[in-house]
């Protein structure tokens, strides 16, 4: 019976994890084009605020739960962590907290319903019910962490090409700001995450922030060391008056070299990672294939004699 209960709990956990993943995917942040949409003359044609946009009943419920838990004021660190994962919405933090609380209650309730009819000791029941809720409680953290790592890897993958395009535009006579705008529009179909981040830099610059500070904010949001290197290069170029085109070319070559070194490092670690699956799965199967026929023949000869 215990084995059956653990199997049921595992199924409920997997189902809840999948549901949480679907909820997070459904809560996609508004595209940057909507956020940068020019204001219309009339209030009817102006973009609606985030609270007035159409949301599913589930997301509204999660937002209410999260607002109740956080007293309507989520922490700044939580908002920054969600922003690094790509969730810039005003209600993203409350939905996140609401999902955590709802999953905790769902896990605890499922464990209670499944374990109460059985002969599980009370002490074990007291331990298993909160533990089941705690397992589902950390599912949103896992989703946010995976999303953050995915965005960071996408930025690292497309940044060398972006720097090359910037170098070409600057070498042809464009200013850095115009080149930045053009490149952000050109790479949108290939790397939408990096294009959105570059457009956010343009938005901050148009609002009065220095470009270096805006790029530092971009480095914080993407959590990519390559963006920090690009920002440092631009600061040094503006300070010492050197050629921005040569600096961009050198930066692109450096980023590609670092990416190649990381790929070589991963390739060198591959034999060590393959050792365990080869020992557990490949070698036993190979041993059965090679020794199995001889063992069967030997067994037949022994029995026949």
How far from chain centre, in Å, is Cα 16? Answer: 19
Whether 173 and 304 share a structural domain: yes
pLDDT tens digits, residue range 248-282?
888 888 888 888 888 888 888 888 888 888 888 88
**What is residue 5's predicted lDDT score, i.e. its pLDDT?**
61
Q: Does any domain span residue 148?
A: no
Asked if 219 and 198 count as a contact pair (C-beta separation under 8 A), the reply is: no
Q: Which of 80, 21, 14 is nearest to 222 (CA)?
A: 80
CA dist 26 and 78 (Å) reads 20
Whether 305 and 158 share a structural domain: yes
pLDDT tens digits, residue range 88-122?
877 888 888 888 888 888 888 888 888 777 777 77
Whether 304 and 162 share a structural domain: yes
Does the pTM surpass 0.75? The reply is: no
Number of domains in the chain: 2
Q: Does any domain span residue 142?
A: no
**What is residue 53's predicted lDDT score, i.e. its pLDDT?**
45
Checking if the pLDDT of 173 tops 70, the result is yes
Q: Dihedral of CA 246/249/252/257: which sign? A: negative
Segment 124-138 shows an average pLDDT of: 84
Q: Does any domain span residue 10?
A: yes
Structure tokens at 224: 């990519």
Whether 116 and 251 share a structural domain: no
In the three-class reduction of DSSP (H, G, I as helix; E, B as strand; rest coil), residue 208 is classed as coil
Whether 94 and 185 share a structural domain: no
Whether 166 and 67 share a structural domain: no
Whether 46 and 109 share a structural domain: yes
pLDDT tens digits, residue range 47-94?
343 344 445 777 778 778 777 777 767 778 888 888 888 888 778 888
Whether 296 and 186 share a structural domain: yes
Checking if the pLDDT of 153 tops 70, the result is yes
Whether 219 and 93 share a structural domain: no
CA angle 153, 32, 194 (to 5 degrees): 20
How far from chain centre, in Å, is Cα 20? Answer: 14
Residues spanned by the domain of 254: 153-305
CA angle 193, 199, 203 (to 5 degrees): 140
Q: Does any domain span residue 243?
A: yes
Phi, psi of 82 (to 5 degrees): -70, -35
pLDDT tens digits, residue range 30-48?
444 444 454 433 334 333 4
Q: Does any domain span residue 47?
A: yes
């Amino acid at each position: 019976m215990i084995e059956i209960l653990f199997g049921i709990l595992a199924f409920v956990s997997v189902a809840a994890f999948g549901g949480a993943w679907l909820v997070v995917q459904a809560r996609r942040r508004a595209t940057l084009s909507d956020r940068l949409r020019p204001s219309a003359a009339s209030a009817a044609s102006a973009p609606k605020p985030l609270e007035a946009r159409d949301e599913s009943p589930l997301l509204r419920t999660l937002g209410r739960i999260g607002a109740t838990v956080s007293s309507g004021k989520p922490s700044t660190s939580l908002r920054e962590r969600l922003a690094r994962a790509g969730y810039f919405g005003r209600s993203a933090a409350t939905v996140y907290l609401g999902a955590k609380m709802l999953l905790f209650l769902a896990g605890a309730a499922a464990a209670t319903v499944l374990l109460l009819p059985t002969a599980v000791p009370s002490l074990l029941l007291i331990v298993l019910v909160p533990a089941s809720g705690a397992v589902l409680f950390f599912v949103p953290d896992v989703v946010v962490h995976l999303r953050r790592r995915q965005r960071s890897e996408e930025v690292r993958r497309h940044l060398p090409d972006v720097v090359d395009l910037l170098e070409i535009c600057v070498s042809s006579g464009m200013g850095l700001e115009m080149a930045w705008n053009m490149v952000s529009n050109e790479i949108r179909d290939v790397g939408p995450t990096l294009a959105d981040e570059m457009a956010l830099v343009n938005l901050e610059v148009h609002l009065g922030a220095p470009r270096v500070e805006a790029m530092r904010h971009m480095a914080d949001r993407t959590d990519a060391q390559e963006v920090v290197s690009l920002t440092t290069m631009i600061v040094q170029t503006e300070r010492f008056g050197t050629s921005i085109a040569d600096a961009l070319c050198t930066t692109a070559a450096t980023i590609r070299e670092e990416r190649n070194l990381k790929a070589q490092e991963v390739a060198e670690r591959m034999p060590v990672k393959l050792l365990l699956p080869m020992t557990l799965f490949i070698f036993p199967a190979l041993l059965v294939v090679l020794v199995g026929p001889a063992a069967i023949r030997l067994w037949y000869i022994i029995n026949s004699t």
